Amino acid sequence: MVPSRVVVIAGLLTGLSALATAQPPKLGDVVSRLSAYLVEYEQRLALVVAEERYHQVFDLILPSGRVDVSVQASVLPVGHRERLLRSDYALTRAPDKQAWVGYRDTFEVDGKPIRDREDRLQQLLTAGGTASAARIADESSRFNLGNTVVTRNINVPTLVLEMLHPRNQARFSFSKAGEETIGGALTWRLEYKERERPTFIRDVNHRDRRSHGSVWVNPATGEVWRTALTWDSAPKGTITVTYGRAANVDLLVPLTMSERYEPGEGRLTGDAAYSNYRQFRTSGRLVPP
Mean pLDDT, the chain, whole residue set = 77
Q: pLDDT tens digit string along 212-251?
A: 999 999 999 999 999 999 987 777 889 999 999 998 888 8
Mean of the pLDDT values across residues 97-111?
Answer: 77
Length of the chain: 289
Q: Are 91 and 45 in contact (CB under 8 A)?
A: yes
Could you give the percent of the chain with pLDDT greater than 70? Answer: 66
Whole-prediction pTM: 0.79
pLDDT at position 11:
46
pLDDT at position 13:
45
pLDDT at position 141:
67
* Range with top average pLDDT, 27-31, 67-71, 130-134: 27-31
Nearest to 99, CA basis, from 91, 107, 88: 91
Other C-beta atoms lying within 10 Å of the C-beta of residue 34: 26
pLDDT bracket for residue 288 (50, 70, 90): very low
Local structure of residue 286 (DSSP, 8 states): B
Q: Are 249 and 45 in contact (CB under 8 A)?
A: yes
Q: pLDDT tens digit string along 242-283?
A: 999 998 888 899 999 999 988 766 788 999 999 999 876 554
